[in-house]
Amino acid sequence: MMSLRQQAPEFDKTIAYQAGRDDFVRVSLADYRKKWVVLFFYPRDFTFVCPTELKEFARLEEEFEKYHTAILACSTDSEWSHKNWFERDLAMVKYPIVADTTHDISRAYGVLAADGASERGTFIIDPEGNLRWFMVSDNAVGRSVKEVLRAVQALQTGERCPVEWEPGQNTLGKG
């Protein structure tokens, strides 16, 4: 079982689809050291709820970048499935889409379902590679990308933040 403030499970040179690249890319969590990372898992390509989330992360990607935060998506579908779906329906998505065909990453993060798909999990990892926030929800309900951004912003204050805290509001001091 993963714990907060512990090292996030590593993955190394895993194949991913990324828009605008001629070939598939290889992605390692270590590539993102010195940055915050939002790693989110979604169940399957060519589904109904997943594209709403993928599009919303793409729409807010510049906001995440303002907070030195990279976005990585992951499902157990192949890189070829990702390529076909994203080029057809999700051209606005520019961040890497990891192909966890071995299920190793989903298993390491505790989101591998019995049917071989990933559960709808979201993980925020700090620049040192520590897991700082996570949420896993029912696959029927899309996650709030704005809440993920708010959590990144709150974590980066280094202070205690009350319910519904937003940037510019008072915090509750050091934790």
Residue pair 123/133 in contact (Cβ under 8 Å)? The answer is yes
Give first-to-last CA distance, the chain, whole Å. Answer: 24
Q: What is the CA radius of gyration of the chain?
A: 16
H/E segment holding residue 62: helix 61-66
Residue pair 27/98 in contact (Cβ under 8 Å)? The answer is yes
Structure tokens at 87: 């080029």
Catalytic member of 29, 39, 50, 124: 50
Total residue length of the chain: 175
Residue pair 82/90 in contact (Cβ under 8 Å)? The answer is no
Annotated active-site residue 50? The verdict is yes
Residue pair 132/155 in contact (Cβ under 8 Å)? The answer is yes
Residues with catalytic function: 50
